[in-house]
Amino acid sequence: MASLVKAPPTMSTINVHQVHLRKLKLLSNLNIHHGLRFPKIHVNHTTVCCTKLTPWEPTPATYAPTIDAGGNLLKKTSNIFETLKSEDTDEAPATNSEELSDTKNPPLMQFQFLKWPMWLLGPSLLLTTGMVPTLWLPLSSVFLGPNIASLLSLIGLDCIFNLGATLFLLMADSCSRPQNQAQTCNSKPPLSYKFWNMVATISGFVIPLMTLLGSQKGILQPQLPFIPFAVLLGPYMLLLSVQILTELLTWHWQSPVWLVTPIVYESYRLLQLMRGLKLGAELSAPTWMLHMIRGLVSWWILILGVQLMSVAWFAGFAARSWQQHSSAASGG
């Protein structure tokens, strides 16, 4: 069916005047060669519009808008590829985040696998360097008499323990850190804990010094020479100074191991003082010296009990904080 109205965009339009013009050019060329003249043919330029498509023409592609997961109708664009491009750009951040998470998870898991042996290696190292030399090594092989050689031998045993304790604290700090390196883990001890701990440590340091001063002044009788006194309590005072320095560093670095540092050193300090009691019996130390060492043993057992109470309090405090955080997250 043919009509003279303007065809819609989807209809095919066929112009016939181009075919007639070509025929006219061909005829004019023939007229020049043969000397013939043909009258001019007036052709009306008509437009034939077909509503039906030819069999070889494909059907026009229409792009229907789709509905996304949220129920929102996607905006229909003039070109199908623009809409597809917009969908690809929307899905690109999600895929990129998944790829980044997949690339980051394997290193974190590998790093976590490396942390697991530290749970057994750290305590084993502390046991090997601290308890084995003190409990199984014969005292006669270390103590050779009230002289400087015996003092250096005892200090060497304590240095071995200090090396193991340092490695243990480093492993404990590594295990207490979060898996994600972007998260910060700053742990500050309370001010009351710092005050109590410093008072207890300084008291354990001052009492032997006051006893030595009283012995040198003649207040305590019988008098004890300096070398036997150094053999009995010299390693104790040296390791106590190392403990003070280690605790100050853990407080300054805000390491989570500030709670276990005094427990590690105080446990070994009890072994030091018990060793001092044995050496006092071999050196025939005065009675007041032996009583003073027994008093230090009792004092540090008390301090160790307070430290364990603080660990229990901190565990309960952490559990309450976690419950409050979980309830706030679920309520929000």
Which token pair is 99? 């790829």
Encode pLDDT of 130-150 as tens digits.
888 877 888 877 887 888 988
Taking 50 as the threshold, does the pLDDT of residue 152 lie above it?
yes
Q: Residue 15: beta bridge partners? A: 47
d(CA 94, CA 199): 56
What is the residue-averaged pLDDT of the chain?
74
3-state secondary structure of 50: strand
Encode pLDDT of 47-103 as tens digits.
545 555 555 555 555 544 444 444 444 454 444 444 444 444 444 444 454 444 444
Taking 60 as the threshold, does the pLDDT of residue 318 lie above it?
yes
Cβ neighbours around 229 below 10 Å, total: 19
Q: Where are the beta strands (DSSP E) in the chain?
A: 12-15, 47-50
Q: In the prediction, which pLDDT does 179 show?
A: 66
Which token pair is 302? 């008390």
Q: In the prediction, which pLDDT does 34 show?
A: 44
Which token pair is 14? 């066929």
d(CA 274, CA 281): 11
Q: Is the peptide bond before 222 cis (omega within 30 degrees of 0)?
A: yes
d(CA 298, CA 151): 24
DSSP 222: S
What is the sign, positive or negative, of the torsion defined by CA atoms of 76, 78, 80, 83?
A: negative
| Buried residues in 173-202 as b, exposed as e (16+ CB within 10 A) | beeeeeeeeeeeeebebeeebeeebeebbe
d(CA 151, CA 130): 18
Residue type at 98? E
CA 266 to chain centre: 30
Q: In the prediction, which pLDDT does 181 show?
A: 60
Q: In the prediction, which pLDDT does 300 show?
A: 96
Interior angle at CA 17, CA 11 and CA 23, nearest 5: 140
Confidence of residue 16 (pLDDT cuts 50, 70, 90): very low
What is the sign, positive or negative, of the torsion defined by CA atoms of 300, 302, 304, 310?
A: negative
Task: Single out the residue of 169, 184, 177, 151 nearest to residue 265, CA to CA.
Answer: 169
Taking 60 as the threshold, does the pLDDT of residue 201 lie above it?
yes
